[in-house]
Amino acid sequence: MNIRTLCLGILSFQEASGYEIKKEIEDGMFSHFIDASYGSIYPALTMLNAEGLVTLRAEEQTGRPDKKVYAITDAGHAALAKSLAVVPARDKYKSEFLFEMLMQHYLTPSHIIVALEKQLADQRQELAQMNECKADPAEGTFPGCEFVMGYGEAVLTAGVSYLELRLAELKTQALKAAE
Protein backbone atom coordinates (compact mmCIF):
# COMPACT_ATOMS: atom_id res chain seq x y z
CA MET A 1 0.00 0.00 0.00
CA ASN A 2 1.39 3.37 -1.04
CA ILE A 3 1.02 6.91 0.23
CA ARG A 4 -1.64 7.74 -2.36
CA THR A 5 -3.93 5.04 -0.98
CA LEU A 6 -3.17 6.15 2.53
CA CYS A 7 -4.18 9.73 1.74
CA LEU A 8 -7.32 8.53 0.07
CA GLY A 9 -8.10 6.45 3.14
CA ILE A 10 -7.69 9.37 5.50
CA LEU A 11 -9.79 11.59 3.27
CA SER A 12 -12.52 8.96 3.32
CA PHE A 13 -13.05 9.87 6.97
CA GLN A 14 -12.93 13.60 6.56
CA GLU A 15 -11.64 16.25 4.19
CA ALA A 16 -8.25 17.59 5.16
CA SER A 17 -5.16 19.48 4.09
CA GLY A 18 -1.75 17.90 3.56
CA TYR A 19 -0.66 19.29 6.87
CA GLU A 20 -3.63 17.76 8.67
CA ILE A 21 -3.07 14.41 6.98
CA LYS A 22 0.48 14.43 8.25
CA LYS A 23 -0.78 15.12 11.76
CA GLU A 24 -3.21 12.24 11.55
CA ILE A 25 -0.35 9.96 10.48
CA GLU A 26 1.81 11.21 13.31
CA ASP A 27 -0.60 11.44 16.21
CA GLY A 28 -3.85 9.79 15.19
CA MET A 29 -5.10 6.30 14.65
CA PHE A 30 -2.81 5.69 11.70
CA SER A 31 0.38 6.45 13.58
CA HIS A 32 0.54 2.97 15.05
CA PHE A 33 1.09 1.14 11.81
CA ILE A 34 2.19 3.64 9.15
CA ASP A 35 4.74 6.35 8.43
CA ALA A 36 4.83 9.16 5.89
CA SER A 37 6.59 12.48 5.47
CA TYR A 38 5.57 15.73 3.75
CA GLY A 39 7.91 14.81 0.92
CA SER A 40 5.59 11.99 -0.01
CA ILE A 41 2.23 13.39 1.08
CA TYR A 42 2.20 16.64 -0.91
CA PRO A 43 3.19 15.06 -4.23
CA ALA A 44 0.65 12.27 -3.65
CA LEU A 45 -2.11 14.81 -3.12
CA THR A 46 -1.13 16.68 -6.28
CA MET A 47 -1.26 13.44 -8.26
CA LEU A 48 -4.57 12.41 -6.75
CA ASN A 49 -6.03 15.77 -7.71
CA ALA A 50 -4.71 15.54 -11.26
CA GLU A 51 -6.37 12.13 -11.58
CA GLY A 52 -9.68 13.41 -10.28
CA LEU A 53 -9.69 11.19 -7.21
CA VAL A 54 -9.82 14.19 -4.91
CA THR A 55 -11.02 17.77 -5.25
CA LEU A 56 -9.24 20.81 -3.98
CA ARG A 57 -10.57 23.89 -2.28
CA ALA A 58 -8.27 26.73 -1.21
CA GLU A 59 -9.08 28.36 2.11
CA GLU A 60 -7.68 31.84 2.36
CA GLN A 61 -5.75 32.65 5.47
CA THR A 62 -3.95 35.68 6.78
CA GLY A 63 -0.22 35.40 7.22
CA ARG A 64 -0.10 31.79 6.03
CA PRO A 65 -0.19 30.10 2.66
CA ASP A 66 -3.67 29.19 1.53
CA LYS A 67 -4.83 26.05 3.22
CA LYS A 68 -5.57 23.51 0.51
CA VAL A 69 -8.38 21.34 1.67
CA TYR A 70 -8.76 18.08 -0.19
CA ALA A 71 -11.92 15.99 -0.38
CA ILE A 72 -12.40 12.56 -1.87
CA THR A 73 -14.52 12.21 -5.03
CA ASP A 74 -16.70 9.34 -6.23
CA ALA A 75 -13.86 8.20 -8.46
CA GLY A 76 -11.64 8.36 -5.38
CA HIS A 77 -14.02 6.18 -3.40
CA ALA A 78 -14.01 3.67 -6.22
CA ALA A 79 -10.20 3.68 -6.46
CA LEU A 80 -9.88 3.20 -2.72
CA ALA A 81 -12.35 0.33 -2.72
CA LYS A 82 -10.35 -1.29 -5.50
CA SER A 83 -7.09 -0.92 -3.55
CA LEU A 84 -8.76 -2.46 -0.54
CA ALA A 85 -9.98 -5.43 -2.55
CA VAL A 86 -6.50 -6.86 -3.18
CA VAL A 87 -5.07 -9.16 -0.53
CA PRO A 88 -3.05 -7.03 1.85
CA ALA A 89 0.69 -7.55 2.20
CA ARG A 90 1.92 -9.20 5.36
CA ASP A 91 2.73 -7.00 8.32
CA LYS A 92 6.28 -5.71 8.35
CA TYR A 93 8.08 -5.25 11.59
CA LYS A 94 11.57 -3.79 11.87
CA SER A 95 13.25 -3.62 15.22
CA GLU A 96 16.75 -2.42 15.91
CA PHE A 97 16.00 -3.04 19.54
CA LEU A 98 15.60 -6.78 19.00
CA PHE A 99 18.70 -6.82 16.82
CA GLU A 100 20.59 -5.27 19.67
CA MET A 101 19.15 -7.78 22.11
CA LEU A 102 20.32 -10.62 19.88
CA MET A 103 23.80 -9.11 19.96
CA GLN A 104 24.06 -9.29 23.74
CA HIS A 105 27.52 -10.80 23.44
CA TYR A 106 28.72 -7.32 22.39
CA LEU A 107 27.04 -5.35 25.14
CA THR A 108 27.62 -4.64 28.80
CA PRO A 109 24.78 -5.45 31.24
CA SER A 110 24.25 -1.77 31.92
CA HIS A 111 23.95 -1.03 28.21
CA ILE A 112 21.35 -3.77 27.91
CA ILE A 113 19.39 -2.31 30.80
CA VAL A 114 19.42 1.13 29.21
CA ALA A 115 18.21 -0.31 25.89
CA LEU A 116 15.42 -2.18 27.65
CA GLU A 117 14.36 0.92 29.54
CA LYS A 118 14.24 2.93 26.34
CA GLN A 119 12.12 0.32 24.63
CA LEU A 120 9.82 0.16 27.62
CA ALA A 121 9.42 3.93 27.61
CA ASP A 122 8.66 3.92 23.87
CA GLN A 123 6.02 1.26 24.21
CA ARG A 124 4.40 2.97 27.16
CA GLN A 125 4.31 6.23 25.26
CA GLU A 126 2.64 4.52 22.35
CA LEU A 127 0.06 3.00 24.67
CA ALA A 128 -0.62 6.41 26.20
CA GLN A 129 -1.04 7.92 22.76
CA MET A 130 -3.47 5.21 21.87
CA ASN A 131 -5.56 6.02 24.91
CA GLU A 132 -5.56 9.66 23.89
CA CYS A 133 -7.04 8.62 20.56
CA LYS A 134 -9.65 6.66 22.43
CA ALA A 135 -10.62 9.76 24.36
CA ASP A 136 -11.00 11.76 21.15
CA PRO A 137 -14.72 11.64 20.28
CA ALA A 138 -14.01 12.12 16.54
CA GLU A 139 -12.25 8.77 16.37
CA GLY A 140 -14.76 6.88 18.40
CA THR A 141 -17.49 7.04 15.82
CA PHE A 142 -15.91 4.60 13.37
CA PRO A 143 -16.06 0.88 14.11
CA GLY A 144 -12.59 0.24 12.67
CA CYS A 145 -10.99 2.54 15.24
CA GLU A 146 -12.19 0.48 18.11
CA PHE A 147 -10.78 -2.68 16.55
CA VAL A 148 -7.39 -1.15 15.80
CA MET A 149 -7.04 0.34 19.26
CA GLY A 150 -8.00 -2.92 20.87
CA TYR A 151 -5.40 -4.74 18.83
CA GLY A 152 -2.71 -2.21 19.60
CA GLU A 153 -3.55 -2.24 23.26
CA ALA A 154 -3.40 -6.03 23.46
CA VAL A 155 -0.08 -6.30 21.69
CA LEU A 156 1.60 -3.34 23.39
CA THR A 157 0.45 -4.40 26.83
CA ALA A 158 1.90 -7.85 26.32
CA GLY A 159 5.18 -6.33 25.16
CA VAL A 160 5.34 -4.00 28.14
CA SER A 161 4.68 -6.83 30.60
CA TYR A 162 7.42 -8.94 29.10
CA LEU A 163 9.91 -6.09 29.14
CA GLU A 164 9.08 -5.24 32.74
CA LEU A 165 9.65 -8.83 33.78
CA ARG A 166 12.95 -9.13 32.00
CA LEU A 167 14.15 -5.75 33.18
CA ALA A 168 13.42 -6.68 36.79
CA GLU A 169 15.40 -9.91 36.36
CA LEU A 170 18.38 -8.09 34.94
CA LYS A 171 18.38 -5.49 37.68
CA THR A 172 18.35 -8.18 40.35
CA GLN A 173 21.26 -9.88 38.67
CA ALA A 174 23.15 -6.61 38.40
CA LEU A 175 22.68 -6.03 42.12
CA LYS A 176 23.91 -9.49 42.99
CA ALA A 177 26.94 -9.06 40.76
CA ALA A 178 27.75 -5.79 42.49
CA GLU A 179 27.88 -7.43 45.90
| Contacts with DNA, residue ranges (CB under 7 A) | 2-3, 17-20, 23, 35-40, 42-43, 45-46, 61-68
By the rule CB under 8 A, 71 interacts with a second copy? no
Separation CA 37–CA 21 (nearest Å) = 10
How far is 179 from 169, CA to CA, in rounded Å?
A: 16
Q: Which residues pair with 72 in a beta bridge?
A: 54
84 binds, among DNA, a second copy, none (CB under 5 to 8 A by kind): a second copy
Q: Which is nearer to DNA, 41 or 116 (CB)?
A: 41
If residue 82 lies in a helix (H) or strand (E), which one and from where to where?
helix 74-85
Three-class SS of residue 156? helix
Could you say which of DNA, a second copy, none residue 135 binds, taking C-beta under 5 to 8 angstroms by partner kind?
none
Cβ proximity of 13 and 142 under 8 Å: yes
3-class SS letters over 32-80: HCCCCCHHHHHHHHHHHHHCCCEEEEEECCCCCCCEEEEEECHHHHHHH
Q: State phi, psi for 2 to the nearest 5 degrees.
A: -100, 180
Least gap, CB of 39 to a second copy (angstroms): 17
12, 46, 49, 55: residue in contact with a second copy (rule CB under 8 A): 12
| 131: contact with a second copy by CB under 8 A | no
How many residues form the binding site for a second copy (CB under 8 A)? 56
Judged by CB under 8 A, does residue 30 bind a second copy? yes
Q: Which residues bind a second copy (CB under 8 A)?
A: 1, 6, 9, 12, 29-30, 32-35, 77, 80-81, 84, 87-107, 115, 118-119, 122, 142-145, 147-148, 150-151, 154-155, 157-159, 161-163, 166
